[in-house]
Amino acid sequence: MYNDNRSGSAWPQMLNLTEMFHVGKYLYTSNGNSFGMSSIDTMQMFKTKSIPEVVDLAKYPIGSQFTVTSIIKPLPNATGFYDYSIPEIPCGSYPLAVGYGINQVNSDNFSKGMIVMHNHSCANLPYEISSVQVSGMDFKQIKFS
């Protein structure tokens, strides 16, 4: 069953899946060997909905699974590139391109902060994503240096 103290820090029993879903960009700055990062939330450029919106983790024994289905609709001004969007495996989020063809998307379109965040270790959460499926969108494997 749900253990809110599994990793030494308390996690909320009610998992708000709407809050898990964020789309945005990273601002990455560097100065010599140091760097700084901040994020810009761009959720106002999308309409989203998650079903269910909230899950009571106590209802799911360890080892059991549940499915979260979301809808994402980019608004007309959403064309662009985003460093994070839908949560991915094992943690973090998939980069996202809106309004561009597969051949127009390359590594230069994304912030270096995206690489930094993907190299970051994962937090020990009381749940993990085991599979992500999509309908209606494409994906492309991009090499980042």
Partner 1 sequence: MKTLHLSIIAGLCISIALSLFLVVIETTRPSNVFHSSPAGQTTAYPSNLTEQLTKACTAGPGMSCDNQPVTMSQNNETNTLTEYRCGQFFTVPQDNHIFGSETYPVLILKENSVDVPRSLIQ
Binding site for partner 1 (CB under 8 A): 47, 49, 51, 55, 63-74, 76, 78-79, 85-90, 92, 94-102, 105, 110, 114, 118-119, 127-145
- For partner 1, give the closer residue by CB, 33 or 119: 119
Choice between 37 and 55, CB closer to partner 1: 55
Residue 90 and residue 128 in contact, taking contact as beta carbons nearer than 8 Å: yes
Closest by Cα among 56, 50, 42, 84 to 69: 50
How many whole angstroms separate alpha carbon 3 and alpha carbon 18? 22
How near is the Cβ of 58 to partner 1 at its closest, in Å? 14
How many CA atoms does the CB half-sphere of 144 hold within 13 Å? 17
Distance of closest approach, residue 102 Cβ to partner 1, in angstroms: 6
Residue nearer to partner 1 on the CB measure, 42 or 85: 85
The DSSP H or E segment spanning 14 is strand 14-16
Nearer to partner 1, 27 or 120 (CB): 120
